[in-house]
Amino acid sequence: MKKITYFLLILLCSFQSIAQISLIGQGCDGTLNQTLNFISYKGYLFFSNAGCSNRPDGIYKTNGDSLGTLLPNTNWMGFDPYPDRRGVSGKYIYFGQSNSLWVINGETNQVQMIKDNLSSIPTYINDLNGIALFSENGTNLWRSDGTEVGTYKIKDMPVNKIVSDGTYAYISDHADIWKSDGTAAGTVKLNFAVINNGGILESVAPSSLTEWNGNVFFIYNQPHGYSLRKIVGNAAITLGATGCHLDCGGTCTVCDGFNNVGGTPNSMYPTSSGIYFFGEANASGSGLYELWKSDGTVGGTVKVISFSAGTTPYMPIRANDYNSYPKQNYDNIFFFTATDPTNGIELWRSDGTAAGTFMVKDINAGPADSRPQGLGVIDGICYFSAVTDDNGREIWKSNGTEAGTMMVQDLNPGTANGVISPEPPNENLNNRWATIYNGRYYFKGISPIAGGNLFAVDGLKHYVYRQLTPTVSTIDIAKKAIFLETGTLILPSINVFYEGKIQNNN
């Protein structure tokens, strides 16, 4: 027994440097085209599951060890694909179903409708100190404490986005920003939008509202371009005033701010060291783009790099949206995508310096696109899906270097896709096909044996094929039963066991 145990430990250690893919649930009979639409609450991951003939449709809850359980009375439900139509506040998960607001009690699993007959689906759900704020799909500001009596309208107003700095909520309408403490009396317009002397409206870019490091930022539309601003009290300061472009008239910081293509409409992306955003080199729409970074100070708001002519940067679809749940722990490296005539749409990175901003790897060699999607960082490693002519769309990982960028596993061997993910023009939503939760990268995948289902990349270094009953001989290591057969490693999952072959990814 000691020899077998020692051999098994050596075997496991030998694969510690090889990230592999595991199946979280038993495979479906066919390919799943429906989105999973993730959200997490206190150690559990919730998601929609539909389209399996061998499993009821509905909302499932898992701790990550198995597919989990179908929540009571949800076998006809699913989360909306738009991530801002679900959110966590207090002990509740809020989500919309048609013109009604529903909650899941994260402690008891009770599912309840708390408001019906809204004018539209609840949207822009966000937390303010245990109170959920939301709109009726962009109209009227509402609040809820998770009960029917505590759910009511605060104010008649347009709502384009809601973020919170932990003390107040900030709501963008079509041109301005409101500040709210969650009450009607405490919801006031900050009046940033103005008509200048030339009769041109200067206004807030509504989708740009972003919280980072306890501060709220937004892009401000000006006659000669855009500027980055930060809210301080009831006012806003302009950041990076020393970086004005003369061809903008010397009155702006970022000219013709770049509106993301093929990705989230949020114009800014936070990392642990600051927020990144794109701009154009002049106001004429020449397509000469720039990358900027801000640490929230005037001196720390700087242009990182000017891209060469013909290079267009994108904010790609991500595993997690910063302003939705589950929130992501960000690394210092900003991963994004860009296209150029030589390499197509590929993975890029930046550390906030010109020398540290470059294409990581031409994953799909030549001008063909690899179109990275579902970007998510775990411990400095960016996981994502990408397309190649030889392998289709599969899961890749990168440490920000060419040598450290590689396919994790050809889950669906050959040219067939192993990752279920939308291709253009339907690739514009985050957190619906992939997510990061508890140190693992979850995604919608498909393999020839397991079918289409929920998979994860983690440290177990195994590829699970199918569910088994524990009938083979056992070895008990630290009270975790591990079953060993020739060429096969079997790992347990709460009294349910899976069979899988160890894969070497050299």
pLDDT tens string 137-196: 999 999 999 999 999 999 999 999 999 998 999 999 989 999 999 999 999 999 999 887
Q: How far apart are CA 203 and CA 441, in angstroms?
A: 38
Q: For residue 227, what pLDDT is reported? A: 81
If we measure between CA atoms, which residue out of 5, 19, 1 comes closest to residue 463?
Answer: 19
Q: For residue 424, what pLDDT is reported? A: 60
Mean per-residue pLDDT of the chain: 78
Element (H, E) at 10: helix 2-13
pLDDT at 479 over 50: no
Q: Comparing 1-10, 97-106, 154-163, 454-463, which segment has the lowest mean pLDDT?
A: 1-10
pLDDT at 384 over 90: yes
pTM of the model: 0.82
Element (H, E) at 6: helix 2-13
Q: How far apart are CA 363 and CA 375, in angstroms?
A: 15
Q: How far apart are CA 121 and CA 110, in angstroms?
A: 21
pLDDT in tens, 35-76: 788 998 888 889 988 777 677 889 999 887 777 889 999 988
- In 223-380, at which residue ranges do the beta strands (DSSP E only) sit? 225-232, 235-238, 268-270, 275-280, 289-294, 301-306, 312-314, 334-340, 344-350, 358-361, 373-378
β-strands 111-115, 122-128: how paired? unpaired
pLDDT at 7 over 70: no
Residue 3: which pLDDT band, with cuts at 50, 70 and 90? Answer: very low
- At a CB cut-off of 8 Å and minimum separation 6, what does 16 contact? 459, 461
Percent over 90 (pLDDT), the chain: 42
Higher pLDDT, 462 or 268: 268
Q: For residue 249, what pLDDT is reported? A: 52
What's the Cα-to-Cα distance from 433 to each of 38, 84, 186, 340, rounded to whole Å?
8, 15, 38, 27
- At a CB cut-off of 8 Å and minimum separation 6, what does 108 contact? none
Q: Comparing 81-85, 109-113, 245-249, which segment has the lowest mean pLDDT?
A: 245-249
β-strands 334-340, 344-350: how paired? antiparallel
pLDDT at 111 over 60: yes
- At a CB cut-off of 8 Å and minimum separation 6, what does 289 contact? 258, 278, 279, 280, 281, 306, 307, 311, 312, 313
Q: For residue 278, what pLDDT is reported? A: 83
- Give yes or no for a contact between 221 and 204, defined as CB atoms under 8 angstroms apart: yes
- At a CB cut-off of 8 Å and minimum separation 6, what does 443 contact? 319, 374, 385, 395, 419, 421, 433, 434, 435, 454, 455, 456, 457
Q: How far apart are CA 228 and CA 268, in angstroms?
A: 10
DSSP at 7: H
Q: For residue 207, what pLDDT is reported? A: 85
Q: How far apart are CA 361 and CA 463, in angstroms?
A: 26
DSSP at 84: G
If we measure between CA atoms, which residue out of 283, 342, 263 comes closest to residue 308?
Answer: 342
Strands of the sheet containing 92-97, edge to edge, are 86-89, 92-97, 100-105, 111-115
Q: How far apart are CA 164 and CA 166, in angstroms?
A: 5
Q: Tokens 């559990």 correspond to what residue?
A: 44
Higher pLDDT, 270 or 323: 270
Pick from 203-217, 244-258, 382-396, 451-465 the range whose average pLDDT is largest: 382-396
Mean pLDDT of 306-312: 89
What's the Cα-to-Cα distance from 225 to each of 240, 283, 310, rounded to whole Å?
14, 6, 21
Neighbouring C-alpha atoms within 13 Å toward the C-beta of 465: 11
> What are 4's two structure tokens?
């077998």
Higher pLDDT, 453 or 441: 441
pLDDT in tens, 93-105: 999 999 999 999 9
Q: How far apart are CA 215 and CA 454, in angstroms?
A: 36
Q: Comparing 110-114, 401-405, 428-432, which segment has the lowest mean pLDDT?
A: 428-432
Q: For residue 240, what pLDDT is reported? A: 64
Mean pLDDT of 412-425: 81
Helix (H, G, I), strand (E, B) or coil at 5: helix
pLDDT in tens, 326-336: 555 567 899 99
Mean pLDDT of 127-141: 96
Q: For residue 208, what pLDDT is reported? A: 87
DSSP at 195: E
Residue 363: which pLDDT band, with cuts at 50, 70 and 90? Answer: very high
